Chains A and B, each alone.
Chain A
Amino acid sequence: MTVAAVETKDLVKVFERGRRTIWQRIRREPDKRDRFRAVDGIDLVVEPGEIFGLLGPNGAGKTTTMKMLATLLIPTSGTIRVLGIDPLTRPREVRARLGAMLSGERSLYWKLTGRENLEYFAALYHVPPGETKARIANVLAAVKLADRADDYVERYSTGMRQRLALARALLPNPPLVVLDEPTVGLDPQASRDLRDRVRELKAQGRTVLLTTHYMEEADQLCDRVAIIDHGRIVALDTPAALKRTIRAEEVVHLEIALDGDERPVIDRLARSATVARSERSNGTLAVTAHCASARDFVPAAFDAARSTGATIRHVEVVPVTLEDVFLAVTGRALRE
């Protein structure tokens, strides 16, 4: 039986929100900070060799989950096994086997060169002195940074720093790599480049667990995706299977101009499609509808608008994305 790369059971992390002033402390007033669950019962099994994505909006609890796996946070309750090891009781063993890229470019020493950064971290990762040079050359090549290794990090672009942070995570030659928003802040070209690097990690037989709030990234890169919201997993499957749950082939975005109540239009639209989202701002109603065929639905939508005195200003037909899955399970858009 193979050991799961990551396994969590009912993982919970409670944080305190708000603050307690010194005055309140001195007077020993009751602690009124509310405690909230940043991670609220997450069950995960990441299989060896897969790229697993945690997809969710800001504040969903992705980073908190990653930090618990990487031994930076102690869970409030629940259990974790990383490569079969409990990070609570044997944190050093977990750290030695885990490549973690958490806060990306901020976590580097900008006044040092890329190579100097790696030399320091190689020592921290306990790479044997005889292997250090080769190991550094290896990870630099893996992120295609060998030619800039002797430049100061402060002169790198954001994408290069992100890649250096990835190189650092690879120093211990880890079977499991966790990446927190690896492409955040990168331009499309640099993002694509970094995603290629991640695919190579998988090709080398490593397991990758990453977080993202870009649905395209989750869709293209991940073998399986867990959609997470408010600290809970709301859906988990392969991107294709997740999209199939929508039970629609196409998604239609409508922009409707209207004066009165929007309910009649929405009711009419709902007869021929699933209205996943509708948002009114002044005289405009934005609707996202899931349907089997846009060719059938769009004419019906025009009829519906006309019969209720509204005008359709804009129609856009797009394929189903993970965004729609998120919308379907949470009722909110990912990007809000």
Chain B
Amino acid sequence: MSLLAADIRAFFAAARKELRQQRRYPTLFLGLLFWPVLLPASWVLMGHAYSGNDPQALAAFAERAGSTNVAGFVFVGYAMYMWLSSLLWGSGTALRQEQVRGSLEAVFVTPASRLVPLFGPGVATLIPMAATFVVMGVALWVLFGVVPPLGAVLQAAVVVILGVPALYAIGTLFAATVLRFGEVAPIVQLIRGMFVLACGITFPVAMLPGWAQVWAWLMPPTYIVEDLRRVLLQGAGLAEVAPHVAIVLTIAMLTALLAIAVFRFLETSARRSGMLSRF
């Protein structure tokens, strides 16, 4: 068995272990059902309150957002938010817990690649995330009567899947810094806030000042959320969003490489300073 095959097996074992641990705290899944519906719904109602469903107001929204479908717009934005948040927290928290519990050293004395504990736990966030998306879709239909055509939903699923590496890489980049800083929660909060502001989560990117828009288009979530809206709400096809997908995948790769480099560097420096066992 080659080393790579063995490491891939170790990677899936890490994901499995994480899912098993998650399963032992079923109440965690309650939050999965609750927030993804409540938060965006309140924004949608707020939007309706502002516009009074006045055609002129809706036209103004459509001009900036590309569609009159306020509920669809907000729900897609929030889906991205939930996804970002779970990956930003997920990988870092998993690594952090290993560090605090003391199992990280036990993992580090095995011959498995260091990328296994770095990337493995993130996989466990994917299944709950898929569940969240389904819940949000159902809520959108039940509460606001919005039902995108099946074809659009399938295409959106493709956009999501192609977006996974990018979000994964961002989450992993943060996880890597756990080795140095221990507690990364405050940084994650800050970054998440930035993403919310910059990536068109609850309002169109067009509303940002020009200089901020430049930054927005450097962040993968901006593209993914925009593409999802185009596919789901404006009837765009995959071919039309393909250039964006290419950009997102490129940024993903660069981010992942950066994450690996940061992790490598911090691991070596932790082995030098004795930081591995401190937290």
Q: Which of B14-64 contact A (CB under 8 A)?
A: 14, 16-17, 20-21, 24-25
- Chain B interface category by residue count: 20 to 34
Known: A120-B16, A123-B13, A124-B116. A106 touches B102 (CB 8 A): yes
Contact of B106 among A71, A92, A98, A121 (CB under 8 A): A121
**Is residue A213 contacting chain B, with contact meaning CB distance below 8 A?**
no
Q: Which of A96, A103, A121, A122 sits near B105, CB closer than 8 Å?
A: A103
B111 touches which one: A74, A96, A102, A107 (CB < 8 A)?
A: A96
User: Which segment of A24-32, A111-119, A326-334 sits at the interface?
Assistant: A111-119
Contact of A74 among B20, B110, B112, B272 (CB under 8 A): B272
Q: In the complex the two chains form, is A108's CB within 8 Å of B103's CB? A: yes
Question: Min CB distance, B89 to chain A, in Å?
Answer: 18
Contact A107 B9 (CB under 8 A): no
Chain B residues with CB under 8 A of A271: none
Contact partners of A122 in chain B: CB under 8 A? 13
Alpha-carbon distance A70/B14, docked complex (angstroms): 21
Q: Does B6 contact A (CB under 8 A)?
A: yes
Instruction: List the B side residues contacting A103 at CB < 8 Å.
Output: 102, 105-106, 277
- The answer to whether the Cβ of A243 comes within 8 Å of any Cβ in the partner chain is no
Q: Is B264 an interface residue (CB 8 A)?
A: no
With contacts A120-B17, A124-B13, A128-B1 known, is A72 near B105, CB below 8 A? Answer: yes
For A97, the closest partner residue in chain B by CB is B111
Closest to A125 in B: B110
Given contacts A95-B111, A124-B110, A124-B112, are A109 and B17 in contact (CB under 8 A)? yes
B189 at the interface (CB under 8 A from A): no
Between A and B, 10 residue pairs with Cβ closer than 8 Å are A15-B273, A95-B109, A107-B106, A109-B17, A111-B24, A116-B20, A120-B13, A120-B17, A121-B106, A123-B12
Q: Which residues of B contact A (CB under 8 A)?
A: 1, 3, 6-7, 9-10, 12-14, 16-17, 20-21, 24-25, 101-103, 105-112, 116, 268, 271-274, 276-277
